[in-house]
């Protein structure tokens, strides 16, 4: 994604324009293979909802998206045999169901007082619950709707007894579904009420559409459901996950200019506009806790800013929450480049937040890959600007995410240490580096997938995979994956690299080899590959590697040559390794194996 | 003038939903003769026409939507 200033205006799409967008998108991409497929099946006609899901996903995601409809009312069979319904390898499946579509008469009888009907309903729905309960970890991510929106029209809508029985049934279904999905990381529930939260219309059902098309919803409701599901799927699988949030101070973290109004004059706290800035700080803090790294970039006297952090009791954010503090009178682009160098993270993983359109324009003009958000000049509109932006949508996060600020602070200690060493080589020698390489276990899948999808600079192929795809790949015969973690005298690096090796009978194939940028420059990658090859087995074969060049991963190609791979078949991106060698050249890295 | 504008809007909706090129005539267009026109396409035509013309069709009206001529007639009779 190139330079982008986030337009905070909500996408104002009508049902017809959403359907039109999806038709046009499909026509334009008809000949391309989908990169992300969603399958929908339901107890009613889901085509309209499916189109809205597709339209929204196509707007949000930077991938070729396909949305397919399963056969109508085949939900029981589909739960057990979804592959037969969808022509492509679906990453996500959505099951939309309503009790009244499946057991209409029993539902009405139950609501009108028959307890026997409740048993019949439970019996009828049992296969559905069993299917969900049996949903395997190797299957695609499944999203299941919970219960319906309204009482059936044929019962007395005003009866409190009927309303009570209806509520009872909804709770029963909810608890049964919750029990079915317990412990399943690839199944989630979504309620109609949460999907319809943003609709302005009080009436969601459309009797005419139900009679004519077996679609129970108004067109606006179908749009709201589609958008909600698309956002949920996007958050789970396709979200842009920027790593660093760079923040201005005045009129961003607090109201007013501290250099003019003083520490006590800024707007922050329970009164008037200060409340909105405090809420915004809470929003930033929660992103930090999810692993987003914070940095300050402000034209200010650093002593003024430090004093706000030190003495203003309303500050939610602390000075230590930020890993970089570029508070000076230099240009913001130069300060952002300094932050990039300090963190060893490319600017395309940065989101810059400032109230000044001048500063934003200067930054995005100078650093083409930075994304930016302008803080609204009406304070009440500030809270929520980060969560409505597409930059921090990931729903899953690992231990590494929570500890990222600590990891980067220890990295800062390394940088300071490097500055007092005589040479870089001496600095590396004295780091007391240790690497641990071991086979990937099931509990590593989340972190492995995250590394596969987030690592840009040192990544052999940059092929992105979902957790399910990683699990499937590692489950194939002859495929073995390894995860590396490292530490030095300043602290742990956490899990830093992934290597996946495939036995192709004649040779081994390096399917994936990647390492987090924070571990680069220490020759850990050489020892990691040594160790992965050693652990793969004693029978050493030639190793092939196919380098997939991107705008960012040139360091990987250089590594292959340095390691000893050679290009072959006249293709500069196909590499072959024919010999063995120890690459722990300086002997400065202890491996877990050596420890043992 | 109003009728002409309305005709343009109906035509535009049908061409978009049913993927009909500008040089093709809609005169003989019907549910049975155009490959892209099925019940789902009818649903999309209804949604698009209702939004474009700011009207709400009755079930009895939609059930008559089997050709371009019929759609124009039903809307004209409102």
Residue ranges in A373-422 assigned as alpha helix (H):
385-388, 399-402, 404-420
CB-CB under 8 Å, B58 with A23:
no
Asked if A90 contacts A63 with a C-beta cutoff of 8 angstroms, the reply is: no
DSSP assignment of A474-529 equals HTSTTEEEEEEEEEETTEEEEEEEEEEEEE-SSSEEEEEEEE-GGGTTSSHHHHHH
CA atoms of A81 and A286, how far apart (whole Å) = 40
A98-118 average pLDDT score: 91
Domain spans, chain B: 2-20+28-76
Is pLDDT of A368 > 50? Answer: yes
Angstrom distance (rounded) from CA A281 to CA A297: 16
Scanning A197-256 for CB atoms below 8 A from B yields 208-209, 211-213, 215, 219
Is the confidence at residue A370, as pLDDT, over 80? yes
Residues A16-27, mean pLDDT to the nearest whole number: 88
User: Which chain A residue lies closest to B56 (C-alpha atoms)?
Assistant: A208
Distance (Å, rounded) from C-alpha A572 to C-alpha A579? 19
Tell me the chain A residues in contact with residue B57 when contact means C-beta distances shorter than 8 Å.
208
Q: What is the pTM of this model?
A: 0.57
With cut-offs at 50, 70 and 90, classify the pLDDT of residue B60: very high
Contact B73, B10 (CB under 8 A): no
> How distant, in Å, are the alpha carbons of A36, B19, B25, B52 from that of B22?
33, 10, 8, 19
What percentage of residues in chain A have a pLDDT greater than 70?
86
Tokens (6 digits) for A298: 């402000």
Read off the tokens for A4: 């982008």
| CB atoms A47 and B43 under 8 Å | yes
Pick the residue of B12, B20, B31, B43 with the most A CBs within 10 A to test the interface with A by mutation. Answer: B43
Condensed to tens digits (0 to 9), the pLDDT of residues A225-273 reads: 998 898 888 877 766 678 899 999 999 999 999 988 888 899 998 888 9
Collapse the DSSP code of A297 into the 3-class scheme (helix H, G, I; strand E, B; otherwise coil) and give the result: strand
Say yes or no: B40 contacts chain A, CB-CB below 8 A: yes
Section A421-437 average pLDDT: 75
* End-to-end CA gap in chain A: 45
Residues of B in contact with A47 (CB under 8 A): 40, 43
Q: Which two tokens stand for residue A574?
A: 């196909």
Q: Does B63 touch chain A (CB under 8 A)?
A: yes
Best of A16, A45, A226 to mutate (most B CBs within 10 Å, chain B): A16
Interchain contact A20–B (C-beta under 8 A): yes
Distance CA A485, CA A491 (A): 12
> What mean pLDDT comes out for the span A95-113?
91
Mean pLDDT of A273-298: 91
Contacts of A398 (CB under 8 A, 6+ apart): A291, A446, A447, A450
pLDDT at residue A2 in the model: 36
Token digits for A338? 């300094």
Read off the pLDDT of each residue in A117-146 and give the average, rounded to a whole number. 89
Q: Which residue has the higher pLDDT, A404 or A168?
A: A168
A164-168, A194-198, A301-305, A491-495: range with lowest mean pLDDT: A194-198
In this model, does residue A12 exceed pLDDT 60?
A: no
Compute the distance between CA of residue A430 and CA of residue A452 in angstroms, rounded to an integer: 30
Supply B58's token pair: 């009755």
Query: A394 or B30: which carries more pLDDT confidence?
Result: B30
Query: What residues of A are in contact with residue B44 (Cβ under 8 Å)?
Result: 19, 48
pLDDT at A397 > cutoff 60: no
Token pair of A63, please? 């991938």
Give residue A522's pLDDT: 81
Give the ipTM. 0.87
**Which tens digit of pLDDT belongs to each residue from A83-101?**
777 766 788 899 998 888 8
Which of A152-161, A392-401, B2-11, B29-38 has the lowest average pLDDT? A392-401
Provide the 8-state DSSP code for A380.
G
Residue A70 has pLDDT above 90, yes or no: no
Contact assignment for B48 to A47 by CB distance below 8 Å: no
The domain made up of B2-20+28-76 has a fold known as: 1.10.1200
Which residues, 6+ apart, have CB-to-CB distance to B4 below 8 Å?
none
Q: Which of residues 485-544 of A touch B (CB under 8 A)?
A: none
A47 touches chain B (CB under 8 A): yes
Residue A356 pLDDT > 50, yes or no?
A: yes
Whether the per-residue pLDDT at A292 is higher than 50: the answer is yes
CATH code assigned to A244-388: 3.40.50.1000
CA neighbor of A407 nearest in space, from A485, A336, A482, A459: A485
Task: Determine the Cα–Cα distance for residues A29 and A22; give it in Å rounded to an integer.
Answer: 10
Pairs across A and B, CB distance < 8 A: 43
Domain residue extents for chain A: 4-238, 244-388, 423-595
Closest of A393, A126, A75 to residue A237, by C-alpha? A393
Question: A94: part of which helix (H) or strand (E)?
Answer: strand A92-96
Identify the closest residue of chain B to A223 by CA–CA distance: B47
How much is the mean pLDDT over chain A?
Answer: 83
pLDDT band at A587 (very low <50, low <70, confident <90, very high): confident
CA distance, residue A77 to nearest chain B CA (Å): 23
When CB atoms are compared, the residue of B16, B17, B43 closest to A213 is: B43
CA A548 to chain centre: 23
**Winning range, highest mean pLDDT, from A12-26, A105-119, A560-574:** A105-119
CATH class of A4-238: alpha beta
Among A184-193, A327-336, A480-489, where is mean pLDDT lowest?
A184-193
CA–CA dist A341, A518 (Å, integer): 11
Element (H, E) at A371: strand A371-374
Query: Which CATH architecture best describes the domain A423-595?
Result: 3-Layer(aba) Sandwich (3.40)
User: Does the distance separating the beta carbons of B48 and A16 come in below 8 Å?
Assistant: yes
Q: Does the distance separating the beta carbons of A16 and B43 come in below 8 Å?
A: no
Give the pLDDT mean for A446-471. 87
């Amino acid at each position: 994604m190139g330079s982008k200033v986030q337009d905070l205006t909500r996408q104002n799409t009508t049902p017809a324009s959403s359907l039109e967008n999806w038709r046009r998108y499909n026509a334009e991409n008809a000949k391309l293979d989908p990169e992300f497929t969603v399958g929908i099946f339901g107890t009613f006609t889901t085509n309209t909802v499916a189109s809205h899901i597709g339209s929204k996903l196509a707007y949000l995601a930077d991938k070729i998206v396909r949305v397919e409809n399963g056969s109508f009312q085949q939900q029981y069979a589909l739960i057990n045999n979804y592959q037969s319904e969808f022509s492509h390898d679906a990453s996500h499946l959505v099951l939309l169901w309503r009790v009244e579509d499946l057991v209409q008469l029993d539902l009405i009888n139950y609501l009108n007082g028959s307890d026997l009907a409740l048993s019949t309903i439970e019996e009828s729905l049992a296969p559905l619950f069993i299917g969900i309960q049996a949903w395997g970890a190797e299957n695609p991510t499944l999203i299941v709707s919970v219960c319906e929106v309204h009482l059936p029209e044929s019962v007395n809508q005003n009866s409190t007894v009927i309303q009570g029985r209806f509520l009872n049934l909804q709770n029963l279904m909810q608890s049964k579904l919750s029990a079915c999905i317990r412990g399943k990381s690839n199944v989630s529930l979504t309620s109609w009420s949460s999907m319809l939260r943003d609709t302005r219309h009080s009436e969601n059902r459309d009797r005419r559409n139900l009679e004519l098309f077996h679609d129970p919803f108004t067109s606006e409701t179908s749009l709201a459901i589609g958008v909600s599901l698309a956002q949920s799927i996007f958050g789970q699988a396709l979200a842009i996950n920027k790593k660093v949030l760079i923040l201005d101070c005045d009129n961003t973290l607090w109201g007013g200019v501290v250099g003019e109004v003083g520490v006590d004059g800024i707007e922050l706290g329970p009164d008037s506009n200060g409340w909105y800035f405090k809420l915004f700080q809470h929003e930033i803090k929660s992103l930090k806790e999810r692993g987003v790294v914070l940095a300050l970039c402000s034209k200010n006297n650093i002593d003024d800013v430090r004093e706000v952090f030190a003495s203003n009791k309303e500050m939610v954010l602390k000075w230590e929450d930020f890993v970089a503090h570029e508070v000076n009178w230099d240009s913001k682009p130069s300060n952002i480049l300094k932050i990039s160098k300090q963190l060893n993270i490319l600017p395309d993983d940065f989101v810059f937040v400032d109230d000044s359109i001048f500063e934003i324009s200067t930054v995005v003009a100078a650093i083409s890959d930075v994304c930016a958000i302008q803080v609204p000049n009406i304070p009440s509109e500030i809270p929520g600007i980060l969560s409505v932006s597409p930059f921090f949508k990931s729903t899953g996060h690992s231990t590494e995410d929570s500890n990222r600020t600590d990891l980067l602070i220890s990295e800062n200690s390394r940088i300071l240490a490097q500055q007092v060493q005589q040479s870089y080589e001496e600095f590396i020698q004295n780091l007391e580096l240790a690497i641990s390489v071991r086979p990937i276990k099931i509990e590593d899948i989340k972190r492995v997938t995250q590394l596969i999808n987030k690592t840009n600079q040192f990544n052999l192929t940059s092929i992105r995979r979902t957790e399910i795809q990683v699990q499937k790949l590692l489950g194939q015969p002859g495929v073995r994956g390894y995860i590396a973690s490292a530490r030095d005298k300043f602290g742990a690096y956490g899990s830093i690299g992934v290597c996946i090796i495939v036995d192709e009978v004649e040779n081994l194939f390096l399917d994936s080899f990647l390492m987090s940028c924070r571990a680069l420059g220490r020759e850990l990658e050489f020892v990691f590959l040594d160790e992965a090859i050693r652990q793969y087995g004693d029978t050493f074969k030639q190793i092939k590697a196919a380098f997939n060049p991107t705008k960012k991963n040139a360091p990987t190609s250089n590594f292959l040559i340095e390691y000893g791979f050679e290009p072959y078949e006249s293709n500069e991106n196909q590499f072959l390794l024919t010999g063995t060698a120890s690459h722990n050249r300086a002997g400065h890295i202890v491996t877990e194996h050596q420890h043992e | 003038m109003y009728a002409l504008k309305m005709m343009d809007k109906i035509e535009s909706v049908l061409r978009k939903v049913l993927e009909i090129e500008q040089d093709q005539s809609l005169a003989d267009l019907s549910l049975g003769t155009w490959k892209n026109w099925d019940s789902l396409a009818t649903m999309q035509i209804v949604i698009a026409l209702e939004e474009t013309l700011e009207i709400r069709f009755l079930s009895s009206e939609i059930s008559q939507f089997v050709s371009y001529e019929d759609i124009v007639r039903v809307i004209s009779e409102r």
